[in-house]
Structure 1
Amino acid sequence: MSIIFMLLGILSIGLKFTGVESVGVCYGVNGNNLPSRQEVVDLYKSNGINQMRIYYPDEQALQALRGSNIELILDVAKDTLSSLTNANEATNWVTKYVTPYAQDVKIKYITVGNEIHPSDNEAQSILPALNNIQNAISSANLQDQIKVSIAIDMTLIGKSYPPSDGVFSDQAKSYIQPIIDFLVSNGAPLLANVYPYFAYIGDKQSIPLDYALFKQQGNNDVGYQNLFDAQLDSVYAALEKVGGSNVKIIVSESGWPSAGEDSATTDNAKTYLSNLINHVKSGNGTPKRPGTIETYLFAMFDENQKNGAATEQHFGLFNPDKSSKYQISFN
């Protein structure tokens, strides 16, 4: 009997470790000083980073990924979304960018829209494009390998605190409801870009820095020890209110800038990233959803041609010469 228990114990340890993948890293290319696609894939492999996100079907990157065993989130480019409302165009897109690579590139998710807001022109294209890409994936017999989804940001959440009161905003509800119905019917996750940094910068009076950096000791008045979990659970609560209780969330971006604004320092970025990696791999999950949290760090490199706030150019984990900006273990 004791041998059986010992075997079960060994098995459970094995299952625990195989379930804890390394975190992924997003690979943006808005820089004029970045390494070649093959060098980048080699850098992922040498650092034990087994998951990548790219923001358009970059065929050089797809070629470099062949045989690498790196799982991939493949985004549809924003300027392509409206064309995919045509079923033939969606089929052509899958035929060109997915089917030729599907055997030796581990495409896991296709993201049909990243941070598209209800007021954006592209918003009306999302649902038909989702359906058309899904149909094309199914026609290619890849529906068991690849899930089709979207990536949202936290602006779609109308109320996020306390997390149990999380709800999609009135403006977002009519936009997001049919999308959630699509995810439910196809067993697909929702991708969410979760940035405690931006929440902290926007409300320093009521959000302690330690709470945003996973350094707070003990829970706050609503049972949370860190802002990341609170944000994530507010999205889960919002999902529950629109019939998405069984929809899993993949954190498709999270990071902390090292320069460009107050609190954007190398020390804070290293602290956040190290603590985030440990947290999402721990298996503790959030108060609402225990378990490992599939998470993609943003981003592989500083991108010196990125538009927006000064911080946007300083989210990189690596320097353009491929040296590490921070000493971080991905495993």
Structure 2
Amino acid sequence: MRIEYLKYLLDVAEHQSIAKAARINFISSQGMSRVIHELEKEFGHTLVERYPNKLKLTETCKQLLPCIENIQREYGKLSEAITSIDLQNETQQTFSLRLLSQRIATIGILPQSLFFPSGDKKVKIFYREMNNDTIFSTIIENAKRREPDDIPEIGLVTFYDPKNSPLVAGAAERAIQYVPYLKTYDLAIVSSQSKLAHKKELTKKDMLQYPLISSNSQLYNAICQRFGENAVSIATGSIDFRMALVEQDEGLSFIPAILLLSPFMSFHNIAAIPFEDTYSVECGFIGTSEALSSEPFRQFVRTLNEYYEPHLDSDLFTLYETCEILGNSAVRADS
């Protein structure tokens, strides 16, 4: 269970509206409905009774709300404690940058062990892995109380359609900027023992021979748009579980092509194959204008550029030109 799902349920209960709860959390109404449905499956109880022009909380939901509210309060205390510890460590160890990153972005986008020179010392980047929603909400909340001399905080996020993302629009309303960094595309992954493993490109017919396995967020929506609303057999937030199912030849899933540059792929008995009518995946950074223009972040991105430039001919990705942030030019991705 994702902890923010409990917050979403509390918002639905408070406003007695899925649409309003969706708006204040910068997700679609369909996404909010899916969250409630996933909670109902996990709890084994109906939480919301839906009517044409209204909804009603079930008695079970009403009984659970005090417990959920308590979990949210305690989680808030935990987040504050972690932030306090992080700031202490940053002071003691001279962390130059706090980076909040998606799991898939951490695996696929970031080189291993990023360290930067600072005088005669090496400066460590502090990582925390989160999903897109939590990264945005954390950046927004922390920006309200950060002091000018605090360590810059940046989020690394991925999108299938950033132009239409309510997260990006909602962040902009709160003076949080989104800056695209690179564009890649998805590949299909199958077991190396699969009958499809030898193919150079998969057709839709090839892929639908297998159960499709996705994450339970943006990838789910992208797959449904390509293969049909009921195409996904298993949706899970765990990439490790997805990879395990694929290795056992129990289904077919998807990864960004840029992961082929990562050692992650060498640990799994899978084949990554292009498929017809694929879709792009965009990775970028979010933060305040101060954080995005800070020297630690500029140094961080220059190091990323140094890592990616030797691979520009691989056709796995293109870099966006973000000169005002990076301090140097890059190859611009097609819009």
Task: Specify the TM-score bucket, using the shorter chain as the normaliser.
Answer: under 0.3
Normalising by the residue count of structure 1, what TM-score does the alignment of the two structures yield? 0.26
Larger of the two Rg values belongs to structure: 2
Normalising by the residue count of structure 2, what TM-score does the alignment of the two structures yield? 0.26
Higher strand share: 2
Higher helix share: 2
